[in-house]
Each structure stands twice: as C-alpha cells, then as structure tokens.
Amino acid sequence: MIPGLQKLTAAPDYAARVDLYNGEFREHGGGLTVNVYVKTERDVVVVEVRGANPRDLQTAELRLWAPRHPAQAQISGMTLLSETWVDNKAAGASGKTFGSLAVLRVEARDAHAASAGNVAERITFRSQEDGSFRVLVGAPEWTGRRC
C-alpha cells in the first residue's frame, strides 16, 4: 500500500493504461505519474513515481492477513516478512512444508523501516528533491530449502 498515491487515483484527470507488450501499468493524474512493472528476473514489482511533493512524508506498507504469523525484520532501510508452515491442520492436509518471503524497499530520501503491527511492515520516506521515488516489492520463489 502506498497511501500517498490516493491523490493520483482520486484526481479528476486520472487516466491509466495497461501496456501488455511491455508488461507495464501506467497511471497519471493530480500531477503524479506512476509506472508499475515486474522485473521477472528478480521476482520484484517496481512502482516508479514522479511528481510527488518532496516535503511530504510518504509511506509504503507491506501487509499479510490474519491468521498469518510472519517473522518480521528491518535491515538497512528494507523490511521483510517471512513465514514457514506445515500444511497439517485441516482435513485433506498435504503434510508438506510451505514458505513465503516478501521484502519492501524504497529508493528515496530519509527512508526508515519499522514494524506496523503483527502482520505488517512500513517504510516512511520523502521523495527525492525532483519528486521521484521508487518502491520495490520482492516475493521470490520458495523452493523448500533453507536460505
């Protein structure tokens, strides 16, 4: 979630386009321009923003849903949620082990990562002086091996 982009989607001049050839989602409105794409070689979604007010405090938040119980960590301006579980509770359970990892990173000024509850992590930041910032969300494939 990037609440500061609500200005974009609520603007009377909001418009968006999906570019299937290049795999991009482009939006503009309210003085903001956003380009969203996936870096497939790295399992990363990139949200590039231009036109933000460099004085405004922004947030980007990564959330899971209950009843998840992820481990949470903040490392060098990044934040992550990870979890491993065994499918052994419900009828028809496979007995297999599953896992997930999600990482949030912001390329901007004054980035600070912190926990935002039991299933959420947040980074607060300010855009670059030119009004640009990038939010990167990674969710790599889990192969069942420990890192």
Closest by alpha carbon to 102, among 66, 61, 139? 139
118 pLDDT band, cuts 50/70/90, is confident
What does the pLDDT read at residue 43? 87
pLDDT digits 0-9 by tens, 72-116: 999 877 899 988 888 888 888 988 888 888 999 999 999 999 998
CB 80 within 8 A of CB 123: no
d(CA 36, CA 13) in angstroms, rounded, equals 19
Q: How far, CA to CA in Å, does 30 sit from each of 15, 50, 54, 132? A: 10, 11, 15, 15
Q: Tell me the pLDDT band of 144, cut-offs 50, 70 and 90.
A: low
